[in-house]
Amino acid sequence: MNHAPASRPRGLRRALLPLLAVALLGAPALANETPQRGGTLVIGIGQNPGHLNPAISTGSEVHAVADSLFSGLIRLDDQANPYPELARSWEVSADARTYTFHLRPGVRWHDGEPFTSADVAFTFEQVLLRYHARTRTGLEGRLERIDTPDELTVAFTFREPYAPFLQQLNVTEAPILPRHVYATVPDVQTAPENLTPVGTGPYRFVAYVVDDRVVLARNDDYFKPDLPYLDRLIFRVIPDANTRLLALERGEVDFIGGLPAGELARIDALPEVTLYTPNSGSGGGFCVMTMSFNLERERLADHRVRQAFAHAIDRQQVLEQVLFGHGRVATGPIHSQLAFAYSDDVRAYPHDPALAEALLDAAGLPRGADGTRFSTTFLHFPAFAKYGEVLRQNLARVGVRLELVALDRAAFITRVFEQRDFDTNVISYCNNADPAIGVARVYVSTNIGNIPFSNAAAYVNPEVDRLFAEAASQADVEARGRLYAEVQRLLVDELPYLWLVETQFSAAGRAEVRGLSPWSGSPAEAAWIAR
Amino acid sequence: MLAFVARRLSQAVPLLLAVAGLTFLLIELAPGDPIVALAGEDGDAAYVAMMRERFGLDRPLGERFVVYMGRVLRGDLGFSYRLQQSAVTAVLGRLPATLLLIGPALLLSTAFGLVLGVLAARRPHSLTDTAVSTVSLLGHAVPVFWLAQLLLLVFAYRLEAFPVQGMRNVRLDAQGLAGALDVARHMVLPVTALTVQFLAPIARVARASLIDVLGQDYVRTAVAKGLQRRAVIGKHALRNALLPVVTVIGAQVGFMFSGAVLTETVFAWPGLGRLLLSAMLARDLAIVSSMFLLLTVAVVVSTLLVDLLYAALDPRIRYG
């Protein structure tokens, strides 16, 4: 079995963290090997990227490719800790309102122009704060101003302390665009430049054939010495997951993400392939499969009914039968790997069908003549059908008939968030690097309505709102941890949602490929091929 | 003849407009918002509202319908913000790749379908006939995506005879003759999947039609005159039996495109089928409506060609 550092058995993960930081700065996966230069790496991706401007979209299909062309001010390791990228250092003011970044000198865009603080200010003011949905939502109203006292210094001042800012500055959240290219375009969203990107990233753009491939080449002028090692990086669009896997096994591609869960054990046993199971991947990180209860429906507004669901559903069975053991039973809304914020001091709901039946009886929902208490709809993406099957089986035992409704992504969003025509659903809510980014949005009362992947349950609790707001504006990590522990205790007590399992991302690469960072936007920055 | 062709083509104009209008309504009335595909999924209400306004999606349905139809009438099929290309450029850019699959598959399924049909019709209810019917029915009944996966597993994965995916080897990116051979190797499995799928109806209709013709008096006369069976079938019966077969082949063109959606997805073939599927999932109206218009044109033209072939095959048919 081959495993890269980021996918060691979980018990080893903490012990390896200090080593990981070294590995991230460009060292290969195996410390005693010297990286070899040259070669072409082919990455199989599931979706065509569309355009290649990562600052105007949060779409994972855009970022899967474009993040290798651009850079952020900082980079995140697989535990979401920041380390320098375009910024070589930074400091935070005593009142935690101002973040000052000192940029690397001598960085050049792929077209040879120098990179300066003006690029950073332009990108935030003209692009990210307008068009990047997450950055706009996270910073708008909070950010007071951006100052550029000199070409290599940029300072962000907030109206009040804003703790998760550093986690929002990597290439996925805040890629920096070239001002000299975009300042003159009439419309950034439709600019032809979005198809011929100029970045500061490890690879430069060569060619893009829609629905087929994107070809990148080594950026010889990259600001990190010696990187990247590869000559060429090709992204090959292969929509079918099984075909992607066969292509990897046959060596037609070298690295793929999004493996079918049922295949993980087989892939792990293949000598020619290395399996990676990081917490983050293209599209998000630290994700929890979450069942939403529509609290606007009278039956589900009853706390006893939600508790009955929690006791009726065997989450261990979900872990074993849907994820084949790759993941962890969830205890609440925050992923256990987000160590500073996670708390397991919450109410437990052990699998207990008899207790579930008693709760349903108490709620005035007795079994009918056919043994059924009531029917309830369960909306899901086709890819999550197996969750529905296990849940339907579990709930049938206590007399609840779950009606599975499979919908494609666009239809699901309309039905759940716009029409609110559902009883329950399942969503992979990703915490991302900080609960203020990925968790609060699901529970705060200001985020209910026609907003994709917002507060689907329509849960309203002023105390929860207050705790999330306070945690986001605290600079002290321990104080934040205490606030998040309190919010977890409250939420798990009230159960507006049921947290099923924590999922892992899965990716696989050819064994001869070393130095991949599958949790990051640009997995091939330090990759090399052992010959 | 020319007047007939002109009349038929002019009849297609209202049909195309109706298809454009229907496509607009289908996409607009289906649940799902194009903004999600355009901008990602993490915006707040103000962001979504801004994007809707920007792309004119905040206007009433009726107003957008009028604007859209006006554009279609002027020949402007719209711009795909998702792909940052005009819809016509995107669709025409993908057409050659799909024709590379559909063209050979149509020719091969016609050729093999006819041969199998003749073999079966020569001795109805014989062992050969039963075998041909069974095999062709099986080929037609098997879903094309399943067949494609099976071909992949056997011929690409186990036997390693063909590549698993794509239209060319992206590592080599061979040009000229080597490039053409590379594409040809990549074509074998997807073309086979489509051919097997479409061979069955041709074989079945060819068999039934030929059996019918072989029972007619003029064939009996030919046999009575002492002509060889091969000559009777080849020279006299087959030509007359071809009329229904031509109809079936013409009707296959539309189905071929739907088969291409699945085949192209399994084999990661960068053609129109893939474009249509991704556009539908993203509610990309410009691409979907352009694709449907192209399909309509393909069906109209293939039906016209069938009619013209009728005249060529049967001198009694005249258009004027």
Three-state secondary structure of chain B? CHHHHHHHHHHHHHHHHHHHHHHHHHHHHCCCCHHHHHHCCCCCHHHHHHHHHHCCCCCCHHHHHHHHHHHHHCCCCCEECCCCEEHHHHHHHHHHHHHHHHHHHHHHHHHHHHHHHHHHHHCCCCHHHHHHHHHHHHHHHCCHHHHHHHHHHHHHHHCCCCCCCCCCCCCCCCCHHHHHHHHHHHHHHHHHHHHHHHHHHHHHHHHHHHHHHHCCHHHHHHHHCCCCHHHHHHHHHHHHHHHHHHHHHHHHHHHHHHHHHHHHHHHCCCCHHHHHHHHHHCCCHHHHHHHHHHHHHHHHHHHHHHHHHHHHHCCCCCCC
pLDDT in tens, A430-473: 888 788 888 988 999 988 877 778 899 999 999 999 999 999 88
pLDDT in tens, A273-300: 999 988 777 657 888 999 999 999 999 9
B116: its two tokens: 């199998």
**Containing H/E element for B26?**
helix B2-29
User: Which has the closest alpha carbon to A427: A492, A483, A503, A357?
Assistant: A503
Q: Which residues contact A441 (CB under 8 A, 6 or more apart)?
A: A137, A447, A453, A454, A455, B42
Q: Which of A395-404, A410-419, B207-216 has the lowest mean pLDDT?
A: A410-419
pLDDT band at B41 (very low <50, low <70, confident <90, very high): low
With contact defined as beta carbons under 8 Å apart, do A176 and A71 qualify? yes
User: Which has the closest alpha carbon to A54: A174, A234, A167?
Assistant: A174
**Cα gap A323→A168, rounded to integer Å:** 29
Q: Which pLDDT does position A1 carry in this prediction?
A: 37
User: Which has the closest alpha carbon to B259: B105, B114, B95, B137?
Assistant: B105
pLDDT > 70 fraction of chain A, expressed in percent and rounded? 93
Q: Is the dihedral of CA A138, A140, A145, A147 positive or negative?
A: positive
**Cα gap B115→B202, rounded to integer Å:** 10
With contact defined as beta carbons under 8 Å apart, do A283 and A62 qualify? no
Please determine, for residue A4, whether its predicted confidence score (pLDDT) is greater than 50.
Answer: no
**Cα gap A468→A454, rounded to integer Å:** 15
Please determine, for residue A332, whether its predicted confidence score (pLDDT) is greater than 70.
Answer: yes
Option in B44, B152, B275 nearest A246 (CB): B152
Q: Which pLDDT does position A31 carry in this prediction?
A: 53
Average pLDDT over all residues of chain A: 89
Q: Which pLDDT does position A29 carry in this prediction?
A: 44
Burial category of B159 from C-beta neighbours within 10 Å (exposed 0-12, middle 13-18, buried 19 and up): exposed
Q: How close B108 gets to chain A, by Cα (Å)?
A: 25
The residue ranges of DSSP E strands in A25-97, in sequence order, are 40-45, 74-76, 82-84, 87-92
For B11-38, what is the mean pLDDT?
Answer: 81
A44: its two tokens: 């199989």
pLDDT in tens, A51-106: 899 998 877 888 899 999 999 999 988 777 889 999 999 999 988 899 999 999 99
Does residue A84 or residue B198 have the better pLDDT? A84
Q: Which pLDDT does position B40 carry in this prediction?
A: 61
Please determine, for residue B217, whether its predicted confidence score (pLDDT) is greater than 60.
Answer: yes
For A499-527, what is the mean pLDDT?
Answer: 92
**Cα gap A501→A290, rounded to integer Å:** 8
Cβ-based neighbour number of residue A521 at 10 Å: 28
Does residue A122 or residue B237 have the better pLDDT? A122
Which of A62, A187, A240, A405 has the most B C-beta neighbours within 10 Å, making it the best mutation to test the interface with B? A240
A243 and B164 in contact by Cβ < 8 A? yes
B314 touches A at CB < 8 Å? no
Q: Which of A434-448, B57-71, B227-241 has the lowest mean pLDDT?
A: B227-241
Q: Which pLDDT does position B123 carry in this prediction?
A: 86
For A367-374, what is the mean pLDDT?
Answer: 95
Q: What is the count of residue pairs from A and B with beta carbons less than 8 Å apart?
A: 161
Provide the chain B residues 194-253 that lie in CB contact (below 8 A) with chain A. Answer: none
Q: Which pLDDT does position B255 carry in this prediction?
A: 79
For B178-189, what is the mean pLDDT?
Answer: 95
Please determine, for residue A9, whether its predicted confidence score (pLDDT) is greater than 90.
Answer: no
Q: Considering the entire predicted model, what is its pTM?
A: 0.83
pLDDT in tens, A187-215: 888 788 999 999 999 999 999 988 899 99
Please determine, for residue A23, whether its predicted confidence score (pLDDT) is greater than 70.
Answer: no
Residue the block writes with tokens 């229907």: B22
For A336-341, what is the mean pLDDT?
Answer: 90
**Cα gap A287→A456, rounded to integer Å:** 16
B166 and A238 in contact by Cβ < 8 A? yes
**ipTM exceeds 0.90, yes or no:** no
- Output the CA torsion A311→A312→A316→A317 (10° steps): 180
A99 has which bridge partners? A92, A156
**Cα gap A504→A409, rounded to integer Å:** 21
For B204-216, what is the mean pLDDT?
Answer: 90
Please determine, for residue A10, whether its predicted confidence score (pLDDT) is greater than 60.
Answer: no
Please determine, for residue B256, whether its predicted confidence score (pLDDT) is greater than 60.
Answer: yes
pLDDT band at A481 (very low <50, low <70, confident <90, very high): very high
Q: Is the dihedral of CA A133, A135, A141, A147 positive or negative?
A: negative
B44 and A137 in contact by Cβ < 8 A? yes
Which of A56, A190, A194, A211 has the most B C-beta neighbours within 10 Å, making it the best mutation to test the interface with B? A211
User: Which has the closest alpha carbon to A282: B164, B40, B45, B165?
Assistant: B40
With contact defined as beta carbons under 8 Å apart, do A267 and A250 qualify? no
Q: What is the DSSP letter of A450?
A: S
Q: Is the dihedral of CA A440, A443, A449, A450 positive or negative?
A: positive
A252 and B40 in contact by Cβ < 8 A? no
Q: What is the DSSP letter of A511?
A: T
Q: Which of A210-219, A482-491, B37-46, B231-240 has the lowest mean pLDDT?
A: B37-46
Q: How close B38 gets to chain A, by Cα (Å)?
A: 7
pLDDT > 90 fraction of chain A, expressed in percent and rounded? 65
Please determine, for residue A237, whether its predicted confidence score (pLDDT) is greater than 80.
Answer: yes
User: Which has the closest alpha carbon to A306: A322, A320, A290, A282?
Assistant: A290
Q: Which pLDDT does position A11 carry in this prediction?
A: 32
B188: its two tokens: 């074998």
**C-alpha separations of A83 from A24, A164, B182 in Å:** 9, 14, 44
B266 touches A at CB < 8 Å? yes
pLDDT in tens, B120-173: 988 888 999 999 888 888 888 888 889 999 999 999 999 999 999 999 998 888
Q: How close B81 gets to chain A, by Cα (Å)?
A: 7
Please determine, for residue A144, whether its predicted confidence score (pLDDT) is greater than 80.
Answer: yes
Which of A53, A60, A210 has the most B C-beta neighbours within 10 Å, making it the best mutation to test the interface with B? A210
For A224, list phi and psi in degrees, rounded to 5.
-100, 120
B39 touches A at CB < 8 Å? yes
Please determine, for residue A25, whether its predicted confidence score (pLDDT) is greater than 50.
Answer: no
Chain B neighbors of A246, CB-CB under 8 A:
152-153, 156-157, 164-165
pLDDT band at B189 (very low <50, low <70, confident <90, very high): very high
With contact defined as beta carbons under 8 Å apart, do A174 and A116 qualify? no
Angle at A219 between CA A213 and CA A224, to 5 degrees: 130
With contact defined as beta carbons under 8 Å apart, do A386 and A322 qualify? yes
